[in-house]
C-alpha cells in the first residue's frame, strides 16, 4: 500500500509525527507538504492528495489541518474522492467500512498526537465492508457522474 499525506501549517507537526507511525506500520507514503508551520492555504494540499488518490497513483490519503473539515471539503471536490473527517477511532473505522472513504482528514488542533495515531491505526486496520454499503457508495458515484 502507498498513500499520500499532506497538511497545512496547523497540521504540520502532527504530520511529521504520523510519518513515524506510517514507517512503523510499513506503509509507504508520499509527503506532499507543507514543509513547515508557515501559513499556507489548505485547499492546495488537499487537492494534491485528492488528485493522486483519484488517479490511482496512491491507494489512500491522509490530510491534516486544524479541524480536518476544510481539508475534507476541498478533497471531496475531486471526483472519485470520499474524504471523511476522523474525529475518533470508531468514526475512522466506520468511514472505511461503510463509506469506502479513501481519504482520512484529521483534526490536528483538537486531538492529541497519541490519539491521532490510534485513529490512523483504526483507519488502516479497516476495509470496505461491501454488502448493503456497496449500493450506497454506488449512489455517491452516480451523483458524481451526473454533476
Can 65 be counted among the known catalytic residues? yes
Catalytic residue flag (residue 109): no
Residue 128 C-alpha cell reads as 470496505
Catalytic residue among 19, 98, 118, 121: 98
**From 3, 62, 65, 105, active-site residue:** 65
Alpha-carbon span 28 to 19, nearest angstrom: 9
**b/e string for 22-51 if b means 16 or more Cβ within 10 A?**
beeeebebeebbbeeeeebebbebbbbbbb
Provide the annotated active-site residues.
65, 98
Amino acid at each position: 500500500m502507498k498513500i499520500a499525506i499532506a497538511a497545512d501549517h496547523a497540521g504540520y507537526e502532527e504530520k511529521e509525527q504520523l510519518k513515524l507511525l506510517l514507517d512503523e506500520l510499513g506503509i509507504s507514503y508520499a509527503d506532499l507538504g507543507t514543509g513547515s508551520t508557515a501559513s499556507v492555504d489548505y485547499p492546495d494540499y488537499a487537492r494534491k492528495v485528492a488528485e493522486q488518490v483519484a488517479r490511482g497513483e496512491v491507494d489512500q490519503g491522509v490530510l491534516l489541518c486544524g479541524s480536518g473539515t476544510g481539508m475534507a471539503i476541498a478533497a471531496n471536490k475531486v471526483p472519485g474522492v470520499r474524504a471523511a473527517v476522523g474525529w475518533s477511532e470508531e468514526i475512522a473505522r466506520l468511514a472505511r467500512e461503510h463509506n469506502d472513504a479513501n481519504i482520512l482528514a484529521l483534526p490536528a488542533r483538537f486531538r492529541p498526537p497519541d490519539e491521532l495515531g490510534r485513529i490512523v491505526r483504526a483507519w488502516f486496520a479497516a476495509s470496505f465492508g461491501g454488502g448493503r454499503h456497496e449500493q450506497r457508495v454506488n449512489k455517491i458515484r452516480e451523483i458524481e457522474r451526473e454533476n
